[in-house]
Structure formats: structure tokens, C-alpha cells
Homo-oligomer: A and B are copies of this chain.
């Protein structure tokens, strides 16, 4: 099974179909969007659409894979090589919030919203890609605990709390709202990594600076 399933000779048309379908599905949900409507929005016949796409579920699968590619390119790849685990997590949180708040990422919104729509092998494949991200957060957290930067806790709780804060943003963020993307990002990083305590930044253990040895620049 190729994750995307496109014919290599018509990649541009294929990309256009994915983008168009993602926009419709994002607006109306997967179940609320018909292949007929997708074909019309692409200015194609339904038969023409089926020349490029096997079926609707394959289309959703391709959109989600594209969204995961986007996510890995714009978040994971940019932070994975940061040597300090706390800075790696902080930077990861910021970039993930940006990805959710920027309207361009309709494929990412679809991954978040249609979490239970795919079935069978396709579902497993996407879930596997998501799990690698959870593992990445768990590992960075464990590394920070080992270095005495965080206290020991269940890494899965920490990972899903991190993700819940960050990904829930798609439910309530309004581009024209009171808070900017930057304020949300600053506020959540501050809350998650420094905490609610009034002792706050004063306590020595709460320092978010890496240990005094200079950090290598990775990548």
C-alpha cells in the first residue's frame, strides 16, 4: 500500500484535488462532503475524479498523510535535533500551536477532527504516525527528568496533557479574537513549563535555561 497512491505523472492535479477536498471536508466534515461535491469544486466530472482517487476513504487517508507530512516538516524536523530536552519541548509546543492557529493547515485540522473516521489498515497507519509524535514528547520528557530538570511523572500523562492544551486550540481559536497566536503560545509555554505556583520563576529548580555548558547547535 502506498500511503498516497498517486500516479507520479499527474502530481500537480492530484495535489489540487487534495487541497480542494481538504477545504470542503474542513468546512462540512467528512461525512457531510460527497465525492460529487468534491468533483464539482475541482471542476471535474465524478468519473474524472475517480481517475485520480480510488474512493472517498482513500482520499481522506491521502489528506491525513499530507497533513502528517506538513506537521513533521514544520514541527518535528525543526525541533528534533535541539540538544536540550526542555528547550526541545518548548520549541515543539510553540511550533505546534502555530501549525494549528494558521489557517493554511486544514489537513492538520482534518487529522485532529476526523480522528475516528478512518478504518482498518489506513487508520492503523495514521495512528502509527501520531503515536511516533506522542513517543517523541514522552522521550524528551524522560530525558529532562533524567537530567533533573523535571520531576518524575507518568510520561504519557505529560504527553497527552501537552497535546491536549496545544491541539484543543483548533476548537476555540479565532484569528480575529482578543489573543494573538503569539500570546497564546507564550502563555501556554509559560503555564506548562513554569506552572501556576507563585513561587514561579524564583525557585531554582524552575529555571528553564539549559545547564551551564553551551548547547550544541544541531541540524
**B-facing residues in A166-216 (Cβ within 8 Å):** 166-169, 171-172, 178-179, 183-184, 187-188, 190-200, 203-206
Q: Which residue of B lies closest to A141 (CB)?
A: B196
Q: Which residue of B lies closest to A112 (CB)?
A: B171
- In the assembled complex, A1 has its CB within 8 A of some CB on chain B: no
Q: Which residue of B lies closest to A148 (CB)?
A: B198
Contacts of A102 in B (CB 8 A): none
- In the assembled complex, A161 has its CB within 8 A of some CB on chain B: yes
Query: Which bucket holds chain A's interface residue count?
Result: 35 or more
Q: A184 with B167: in contact, given A32-B31, A203-B197 (CB under 8 Å)?
A: no
Q: Which residue of B lies closest to A149 (CB)?
A: B198
Contacts of A183 in B (CB 8 A): 154, 157
Picked from B149, B192, B194, B195, the residue with its CB within 8 Å of the CB of A194 is: B195
Q: A168 with B160: in contact, given A187-B153, A198-B149 (CB under 8 Å)?
A: yes
Closest chain B CB from A145 CB (angstroms): 8
The complex places the Cα of A61 from the Cα of B154 at a distance, in Å, of 38
Q: Which of A28, A166, A183, A196 has the most CB of B within 10 A?
A: A196
Interchain Cβ contacts under 8 Å between A and B, 9 examples: A29-B30, A115-B171, A151-B198, A156-B178, A157-B188, A160-B169, A164-B167, A165-B168, A199-B206
Chain A residues packing against B (C-beta within 8 Å): 28-32, 113, 115, 117, 148-151, 153-154, 156-158, 160-161, 163-169, 171-172, 178-179, 183-184, 187-188, 190-200, 203-206
